[in-house]
Amino acid sequence: MADSERQKVDLTRMGVWGKAVRIELGSRYEDVWLQTIGDRTEALERGHEAMQRKLLEFRPGGERMEALREALSLAPVEDLIELALTTERHQVETRLRREIPDPVRPRRDRAVGESDEGFARRLAEYEEQCEDIERRRSEKLKEMMGRRREELAGMSRRELAELASPRRVDVECWNSFARTVDDWVLLRAVRKAGHHEEPYFQDVSEVRALHPVVKEQLRRAYRELEPDEGDEFPKGSAPCPSSV
């Protein structure tokens, strides 16, 4: 590419992509500018803080925990079983990875002059072993979870509610994390249409107060800005010059 076709930007703007977005709700609309924020440290920290606050709401003996237990006591038994199984599934998968470990990936032995064909054969054998191990783990997991399902089906509703509650708390905490991260990303990413250097929102509370349809449009537009793995830049966007 000739220098005349290149766009000159300062280093801090490289990798920052943006695009104009029209947000619509009913017969009304607003034009904004969205651009990637790069470092998500602030958003992630706020998300983890929100997660911890949510977790504290479910402390033993607290009103939220008692309300959760009451709700679970009224839930269908099959739902409680599924929640309990989901809670335990990760532990079972971790156990199976220890009991059926991955094979060691082969490295080409250049010291003995291994040929390309020889290494390719060993690599193919390794890949076959990986597929076989994954199949064995999957079959074992299905067997173990099936047995566990039968055990859970024989338990009382109260016992099932106790086993299911950690999963419900986990879901609540992760939902709080995701919502908060999204809010802080949008706070930094949404700019005024005619003045890209000016943030559209002054405080995260304004983002939280957005109509759900409006917020979803902004979230979707921002996700489209983030390049997929292997992409040099996201489609439908442009690099942000230093002179915006």
Q: Between 2 and 88, where is the model more confident?
A: 88
Look at 8 and 119; give whichever has higher pLDDT.
Answer: 119
Tell which wins on pLDDT, 14 or 82: 82
For residues 205 and 242, the answer to whether their CB atoms sit within 8 Å is: no
For range 211-235, the mean pLDDT: 79
Sheet with 28-35, edge to edge strand ranges: 195-199, 190-192, 28-35, 17-25, 238-239
Residue 203 per-residue DSSP state: S
- H helices of the chain, in order, are 41-57, 63-73, 77-99, 116-153, 157-189, 204-208, 212-225
Tell me the three state secondary structure of residue 188.
helix
Give yes or no for a contact between 49 and 183, defined as CB atoms under 8 angstroms apart. Answer: no
Other residues' Cβ atoms within 10 Å of the Cβ of residue 75: 15
Q: Which pLDDT score, from 0 to 100, does residue 244 have? A: 40
Nearest CA to 227 out of 212, 216, 238 is that of 238
User: What is the arithmetic mean of pLDDT over 119-123?
Assistant: 88
* pLDDT tens sequence across 169-215: 998 999 999 999 999 999 999 999 988 889 999 999 999 999 999 99
Q: Report the percentage of the chain scoring pLDDT > 90.
A: 53
Strand, helix or coil for residue 199: strand
Residue 20, φ and ψ in degrees, nearest 5: -80, 140
Q: Is the pLDDT of residue 58 over 60?
A: yes
Looking at 29-33, 44-48, 54-58, 201-205, which range is the least confident one?
54-58
Start-to-end CA span in the chain (Å)? 23
pLDDT of residue 243: 43
pLDDT for the residue numbered 69: 84
Which pLDDT tens digit goes with each residue over 138-153?
999 999 999 999 999 9
Alpha-carbon torsion (38, 43, 44, 45), positive or negative? positive
Mean pLDDT, range 70-78, rounded to an integer: 88
* pLDDT of residue 83 exceeding 80: yes
Q: Which of 95-109, 208-222, 227-241 has the highest mean pLDDT?
A: 208-222
- What is the distance between the alpha carbons of residues 95 and 87, in angstroms, rounded to a whole number? 14
The mean pLDDT value for 148-162 works out to 90
Which pLDDT score, from 0 to 100, does residue 2 have?
55
- Residue type present at position 117: E
Structure confidence at residue 237 (pLDDT): 59
